[in-house]
Chains A and B, each alone.
Chain A
Amino acid sequence: MPAQLRQLRQQIKTVKSTAKITRAQEMIATSRIVKAQQAVAASKPYADQITQALSALVSHHVGVDHPLLHEQPTDNRSAVLIVTSDRGFCGAYNANVIREAEALIRSLREAGREPVPYVVGNKGITWYRFRGREVAETWHGFSDRPTFASAERIGQRLTEDFLKTDAEGGVGEIHVVYTEFVSMLTQSVQVRRLMPLEITEGETGKVAPAYEFEPSAQAALDLLLPNYVESRIYHMLLQSAASFQASVRRAMKSATDNANELLGVYTRQMNQARQAAITQEISEIVGGADALAESGGE
């Protein structure tokens, strides 16, 4: 049985090196989760401030208006921004996002609207390209570590399209499908409507101060709204990046665990094969010796 023995040794070697790689990936992902969470925390002051300023602006100045706040009943197209990752090795992370996105697209279609996908991340892009589906715009190259500049690019394109009419290739509303990082163990896919904007009033009981505006309330709103949209998109990208790393960590951990389990099975099999070979050899020797003794004894 030496052939089988050699085969098993080879397999053990392979599994060991796989386990080493997945273990390393797991540790890399673990450290990146921490970084991604720090990025989420670092973006919070800006997001909080801009939301506060905007709700103060909207609640105090009924007169100010902006097209981004309007429903567009004449536009029948709906944008769906799908946030996936550039890399794989992350379990069902992208599959979950795409499943939710497809469900949303289906329900939009049933409601008589025309959904238009906008895709972030290589995995989503290849998914749509492989199926020959039309997408309005794709972005990639920053899913691991999104910068504000990337959120700005997405935000500008979406805002532009929102302000256009159907005939010009615009959209009437914008939905986003992304993954929210709840905890190390839980990440949930979220579907949110981004535009038209709904400014929720700040927490009740806390009255926003009566601001003066420099140079005017309208100018402040014109600047704040696009920034607000970009900051929301940035937040979603950061959350997705953190979720992605958590998914990678989990996928790599179970891969390492599986490899270690397999290693145990193979090691036992190998020991058995080796022992069987030894036993057989001994019984052959003993048998041979017996036969010799018998023939020599006469």
Chain B
Amino acid sequence: MATLKVGLVSPEREIWSGEAKMVVAQTVEGSLGILPGHAPVLGVLLDGSVVKIEPADGGEPITAMVGSGFFSVAADEVSVLAEQAELSDEVDVSEARRELEEALGGDDATAERRARARLRAAGIEA
């Protein structure tokens, strides 16, 4: 079966790369699932959303919180580029909770979305 070559990168480092069966990303207009053979797409990520990657070896799906950025799909290669990105196991849950509370106090919608996305990436509904 064809697989996708996925790279999740932030400006400072490559966060995850490898083969995957499916990638789900959120654009400003809604979720977009990418399977092998997808047409070339360049999409804008929703700032403060979760990207889900299902590895080709059938392992646990990888979730990551992403901030402002975009993704491109071409010839079964998916690159997700985000200015802020954190894998689920890198998320500091208590820190994210605190940020969410702070964001709820203010009226910064992006900060709130980012904090929620971090919690969601870590597997906690908030």
Q: Which A residues are within 8 Å of any B CB, using their own CB? A: 39, 42-43, 45-47, 49-50, 52-53, 56-57, 147-148, 151-152, 208-215, 219-220, 223-224, 227, 230-231, 234
* Residue in A closest to B42 when the chains form the complex, CB atoms: A211
Name B14-32 residues within 8 Å CB distance of A. Answer: 14, 27-29, 32
**Is B28 in contact with A215, judged by CB distance below 8 angstroms?**
yes
**Is B81 in contact with A50, judged by CB distance below 8 angstroms?**
yes
Contacts of B110 in A (CB 8 A): none
**Is B9 in contact with A220, judged by CB distance below 8 angstroms?**
no
For the complex formed, measure the closest distance between the CB of B53 and the CB atoms of chain A, giving whole angstroms: 16
Within 8 Å by CB of B42, from A45, A148, A151, A220, lies A220
Instruction: Give the CA-CA distance A220 to B81 in the complex, in Å.
Output: 13
Contacts of A224 in B (CB 8 A): 70
Instruction: Give the CA-CA distance A47 to B83 in the complex, in Å.
Output: 12
* Residue in A closest to B72 when the chains form the complex, CB atoms: A53
Q: How many A-B residue pairs have CB under 8 A?
A: 86
Q: Is B40 an interface residue (CB 8 A)?
A: yes
**Is A42 in contact with B44, judged by CB distance below 8 angstroms?**
no
Secondary structure at the A interface, as helix, strand, loop or mixed, is helix
**Is B29 in contact with A45, judged by CB distance below 8 angstroms?**
no
Q: Is B57 an interface residue (CB 8 A)?
A: no
Contacts of B103 in A (CB 8 A): none
For the complex formed, measure the closest distance between the CB of A149 and the CB atoms of chain B, giving whole angstroms: 9
Instruction: Give the CA-CA distance A56 to B41 in the complex, in Å.
Output: 11
Contacts of A151 in B (CB 8 A): 11
Q: Is B3 an interface residue (CB 8 A)?
A: no
Instruction: Give the CA-CA distance A147 to B32 in the complex, in Å.
Output: 31
For the complex formed, measure the closest distance between the CB of A155 and the CB atoms of chain B, giving whole angstroms: 11
Q: In which size bucket is the chain B interface?
A: 20 to 34
Q: Is B60 an interface residue (CB 8 A)?
A: no
* Residue in A closest to B43 when the chains form the complex, CB atoms: A214
* Residue in B closest to A226 when the chains form the complex, CB atoms: B68
Instruction: Give the CA-CA distance A46 to B40 in the complex, in Å.
Output: 18
- Given A215-B27, A220-B43, A227-B81, 16 further pairs, Cβ under 8 A: A45-B7, A53-B72, A56-B72, A148-B12, A151-B11, A208-B74, A211-B40, A211-B42, A213-B43, A214-B29, A214-B42, A214-B43, A215-B43, A223-B68, A227-B69, A234-B11
Contacts of A209 in B (CB 8 A): 40, 74-75
Q: Given A42-B14, A227-B83, do A212 and B9 touch, yes or no (CB 8 Å)?
A: no
For the complex formed, measure the closest distance between the CB of B31 and the CB atoms of chain A, giving whole angstroms: 11
The 8 A CB mask of B77-105 against A (1 = contact, 0 = none) is: 00101010000000000000000000000
**Is B42 in contact with A213, judged by CB distance below 8 angstroms?**
yes
Instruction: Give the CA-CA distance A152 to B28 in the complex, in Å.
Output: 22
Contacts of A46 in B (CB 8 A): 9-11, 81
**Is B40 in contact with A215, judged by CB distance below 8 angstroms?**
no
Q: Given A46-B11, A148-B10, do A212 and B83 touch, yes or no (CB 8 Å)?
A: no
**Is A56 in contact with B42, judged by CB distance below 8 angstroms?**
yes
**Is A49 in contact with B12, judged by CB distance below 8 angstroms?**
no
The 8 closest A-B pairs by CB, nearest first: A214-B43, A209-B40, A148-B11, A42-B13, A209-B74, A211-B42, A45-B9, A211-B40
**Is A219 in contact with B74, judged by CB distance below 8 angstroms?**
no
